[in-house]
């Protein structure tokens, strides 16, 4: 992880430890909490038009920022518990996407690429 994410993961670990919450931070519980927070973020966008979603009003943007923070915290905590380097995982996925989605073949297209061998 990058230094910023490492610091965040350590702070989250200490936060959970100080409250004796590590017992509840199983991967299953964390991914369920993450899904719930993603749902709350989705709810902020649910009835917006495409234009409104690109320029939310200040109150909506503040709520979105809070939900993005929640999503980030749960994702970082889950990765920490599983021992996954989030930045490395994202880089590996981007590398895979660059191989699967040739810029010349997919420019301007929303079509899916054939499954990757990693999708197995």
Tokens of 100: 């699967």
pLDDT digits (tens, 9 = 90+) for 36-66: 999 999 999 999 999 999 999 999 999 999 9
| Tally of structural domains, the chain | 1
Q: What is the mean pLDDT of residues 24-46?
A: 98
Contacts by 85-91, CB closer than 8 A, 24 or more apart: 85/1, 86/1, 86/5, 87/1, 87/2, 87/5, 88/1
Is position 48 within any domain?
yes
What range defines the domain where residue 54 resides? 3-106
User: Which residues lie below 8 Å from residue 31, measured CB to CB, with a gap of 6+?
Assistant: 78
CATH number at residue 80: 1.10.287.1080
């Amino acid at each position: 992880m990058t230094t910023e994410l490492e610091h965040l993961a350590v702070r989250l670990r200490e936060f959970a430890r100080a409250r004796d919450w590590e017992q509840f931070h199983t991967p299953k519980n964390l991914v369920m909490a993450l899904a719930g927070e993603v749902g709350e973020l989705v709810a902020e966008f649910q009835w917006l038009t495409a234009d409104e979603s690109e320029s939310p009003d200040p109150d909506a943007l503040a709520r979105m920022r809070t939900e993005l923070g929640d999503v980030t915290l749960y994702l970082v905590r889950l990765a920490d518990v599983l021992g996954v380097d989030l930045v490395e995982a994202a880089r590996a996925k981007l590398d895979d996407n660059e191989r699967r989605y040739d810029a010349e073949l997919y420019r301007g297209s929303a079509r899916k690429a054939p499954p990757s061998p990693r999708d197995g």
